């Protein structure tokens, strides 16, 4: 897997809070990058779930559950 460098700007308070947290946990090289990566992936997941929920609002919950059940049943 290759990595990409980002330049991001965050408020000083956010930087201080995160670095303090990581220091308490025994910061190792790369911890800040791992934290940001996990946070971004988590937020993307949340946004995707919100999008799916919004898209599925037009369907009855029973229809959605039946479609899920149908997809999980082996033929």
Helix-helix angle 12-24:31-55, to 10 degrees: 110
Mean of pLDDT values over 28-43: 95
Whether the per-residue pLDDT at 1 is higher than 70: the answer is yes
**Segment 11-38 mean pLDDT:** 95
Residue 74, pLDDT above cutoff 90: no
The percent of residues above 70 in pLDDT, for the chain, comes to 97
Task: Give the mean pLDDT of 5-32.
Answer: 94
64, 56 contact by CB (below 8 A): yes
Residue 73 has pLDDT above 90, yes or no: no
Q: What is the domain partition of the chain in residue ranges?
A: 28-72
């Amino acid at each position: 897997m290759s990595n990409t460098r980002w330049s991001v700007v965050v408020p000083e308070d956010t930087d201080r809070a995160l670095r303090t947290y990581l220091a308490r946990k025994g910061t190792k090289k790369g911890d800040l990058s791992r934290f940001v990566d996990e946070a971004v992936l988590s937020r993307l997941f949340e946004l995707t779930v919100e999008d799916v929920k919004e898209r599925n609002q037009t369907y009855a919950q029973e229809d959605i559950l039946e479609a899920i059940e149908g997809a999980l049943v082996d033929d």
